[in-house]
Structure 1
Amino acid sequence: MKLNKKILYYGQITWGSTSLQRYNALSNIFFSSYPVDSRRAFPDKKSGRSIFKSIQGRLGLGPIISITKNILLQEVNRFNPDIVWIDGGFLVNQETIIELKKLNITVIHYTPDSILAPGMSNLCFRKAIKEYNYVVKTKTQDLNLYKKNKAKNIIFSQQGYDPKIHKQMHLTKDDLRKFSSDVVFIGHCMKRRLEQIEHLNRELNIDIKIFGTGWDNKDISQDTKSCFHGPAIDLNYAKAISGSKICLGLLNHEAKDEITTRSFEIPGCGGFLLAERSKQHLEVFKENIDAAYFSSKEELVEKVKYYLENKDERMVIKNNGHSIVKKGMYSWPSLMSDVIKNLNLEN
């Protein structure tokens, strides 16, 4: 039975994004839901975001803040929600949240990203965070910063996956040509990730495929660029994992990440997860039972070589990892349901 309340969701309604996956999960919990795309205020880089807007976004200052406020309040007045869920509200200022609360609306902030990452914790966000009724975080390393900024009612939720997208895929001959590989990584190019991929590519003569963004930068070597195949979105993401023997779970070290959504998406698709060794990874997936791990570029090469040569062991581990996530507690519908239960909204 759905909760007899109305929720307005403010976030990036981007096809294939985790934000859209969370909205879809929330829409199945509430009697009525309404998505408002935050890109109306802060467009994607390739669809109208100017350098001026990018600077405003990073600093949390300028006209873009009032534009965000006007869009949110306009849509709230149209929809009249009981709850406003703000997914990544780094341009939603303190005054906007205060006005929403005056309307007797419960205001929730959620982000799957660490606020320690560059640009994620700007002036606007730091001043606003204390006004939210609830703050949902997914990164354990962020707790002190939330407390420092006087956040109230902090709820921890794990990263997740979408069972409608992240599933084992049957690949056609055409799919196999596009997506089969020895090793795959899907994600944005970052310094540490680039070093890891380049080292692996130099040391082993294997088929490496990279999907994501930033891997065609002019400063990247031609050898690495030859591995890059553009973005892999929605079911193509699942196909890229299903088509690879080993799927890398590389972390964002700038944000001090210990686990990411791909940590769950890879096993969800039935992929073999070879991830960076971390406390949170080890808490979810037992080493050499549910996933494999590495802590250095050298160990990465060793593990890739070993598991390419030991298919039977690789298959047992990947099947175990798939079973862990398929228990349901890490799907977006399950995670969102648990968050809502913690909010005591039933009354």
Structure 2
Amino acid sequence: MTHSQSILYIGPDSGTCRARRLALGRLGHRVKAVDPFAALPLGSLARSWSFKTGGFGFGALVRSHIAACAGDQAFDLAYIDSGELIDGKTVQMLRRFAPIVVNYNPDNPYVRRDGGRWRAFLGAVAHYDCLFVPRESNVAQAKLAGARRVHRVWFAADDPLRDPDRLPSEEAKKPYLSSISFVGTWMPERGAFLLKLAQAGLPLQIFGPRWNKALEYTALEPLITLGELTPQAYDAAVAAADISIALLSQGNRDQHTTRSMEIPVLGSLLCGQRTPEHLQLYEEGREALFWSDAQECIDHCRQLLTDPARRRRIAQAGRARALRNDHFNESLMSSMLNLALSAQAAPSTRAVA
């Protein structure tokens, strides 16, 4: 168990990044949070430019903002979550405040899905003491990019969801009640897949942003509740579904993702893509259902709709297994912190741990 540490936490104050920061506080660490996006000019144009160029032209602004927020404090460790705006010069500057600088990036900056978004991050890889990645393929990719040490971790759900009394209430779930749902952002491959489910007559509901960009939007529009969801609304939407479809990002080459942990913990039945990592997480047919194509997914859903008792058994077993797996933010952050502090012992090594 790591003793209480003083941590300079640099990451967006939203979504799963914020959840990981709060987990550090629950673990008893003293956390100074800095959102690098607060350094950008106000307005959507700056955010769009940053996404497309990897923060090109914003490096000095980000460094000035972090330095002003950190002041004259000294920290045991600087932890960067994502690192979209953090270039090599910024990592070097952070050593004025902390002897160890590490990064966890839940995205996949080593593929081309997001264009130039990860320009700054990739230029900073070799400057970190340690990188944490959620994909086995990222280990070799990070090493090729110059990483000193790389540790592979699992995605994680948030700890309050362990407690049945902290799950979404029946009232919170009412706007999202569905037999089958997908909760998430549109991506090109997702529209075609979900259209097949809809055309098969399944009672599908879709919740999430950017679905108006789908080529299939006209056909899917009656099934879509469009827009960003707050973390609370996301949890309620997942928990309100009898069956939750788990689609992975092909562009990110995911074999599991955060929703692979969240769906069972929230009490819904996980019906996801069959991958080696999903099969490590859950026993197929007893704790979750998996498919290799749309037709197999359709067949699973049809059977479950006629057998609610089986659906409930699988959902309950899935939640129990997710709790045993212990892939939650506090465990993730504790593990990463222990590994990060060990980086101090061998700062020059470039071996993959």
Per the normalisation by structure 1, the TM-score is 0.89
Letter in 2 for 1:170: S
**Is 1:315 the counterpart of 2:306 in the alignment?**
no
Partner of residue 11, structure 1: 11
**Is 1:32 the counterpart of 2:63 in the alignment?**
no
Partner of residue 49, structure 1: 44
Q: Is the 8 A contact 1:92 1:128 kept in 2?
A: yes
What's the offset of the Cα at 1:103?
4.4
Q: Is the 8 A contact 2:78 2:100 kept in 1?
A: yes
Mind listing any 5+ residue stretches in structure 1 that lack a counterpart? none
Q: Is the 8 A contact 2:192 2:216 kept in 1?
A: no
Q: How does 1:161-240 map to 2 (within 5 A)?
A: 161-165=157-161, 168-172=167-171, 175-176=173-174, 178-206=175-203, 208-217=204-213, 219-229=215-225, 230-240=227-237
Question: In structure 1, what is the Cα distance between the partners aligned to 2:236 and 2:51?
Answer: 34
Alignment CA distance shift 1:175-1:56 (3 Å): closer
Partner of residue 92, structure 1: 86
What do the CA deviations read for 1:247-303 (whole angstroms, capped 9, x no partner)? 011000011111010000001101100001111111111111111011111112111
What do the CA deviations read for 1:124-177 (whole angstroms, capped 9, x no partner)? 2222101111111111121221011110121111101013257543313x743x
Higher RCO, Cα 8 Å, sep 6+? 2
What's the offset of the Cα at 1:340?
1.4
Partner of residue 149, structure 2: 153
Q: Is the 8 A contact 1:90 1:124 kept in 2?
A: yes
**Is 1:298 the counterpart of 2:292 in the alignment?**
no
Partner of residue 325, structure 1: 322
Alignment CA distance shift 1:103-1:217 (3 Å): closer
Question: In structure 2, what is the Cα distance between the partners aligned to 1:332 and 1:134?
Answer: 19
| Percent identical residues | 22
Partner of residue 261, structure 2: 264
Letter in 2 for 1:38: P
What's the offset of the Cα at 1:62?
2.7
**Structure 1, 63-72 or 313-322: larger mean CA deviation:** 63-72
Q: Is the 8 A contact 1:90 1:120 kept in 2?
A: no
Letter in 1 for 2:128: Y
Paired residues in the alignment total 338
Mind listing any 5+ residue stretches in structure 2 that lack a counterpart? 346-353
Partner of residue 278, structure 1: 275
Q: Is the 8 A contact 1:7 1:30 kept in 2?
A: no
Alignment CA distance shift 1:120-1:266 (3 Å): farther
**Structure 1, 102-111 or 246-255: larger mean CA deviation:** 102-111
Partner of residue 53, structure 2: 59
Q: Is the 8 A contact 1:245 1:271 kept in 2?
A: yes
Alignment CA distance shift 1:250-1:95 (3 Å): same
What's the offset of the Cα at 1:12?
1.1
Q: Is the 8 A contact 1:13 1:38 kept in 2?
A: no
Question: In structure 2, what is the Cα distance between the partners aligned to 1:2 and 1:156?
Answer: 20
Secondary structure of 1:211 counterpart: strand
Secondary structure of 2:95 counterpart: helix
Alignment CA distance shift 1:321-1:196 (3 Å): same
Letter in 1 for 2:9: Y
Q: Is the 8 A contact 1:10 1:86 kept in 2?
A: yes
Q: Is the 8 A contact 1:165 1:234 kept in 2?
A: no
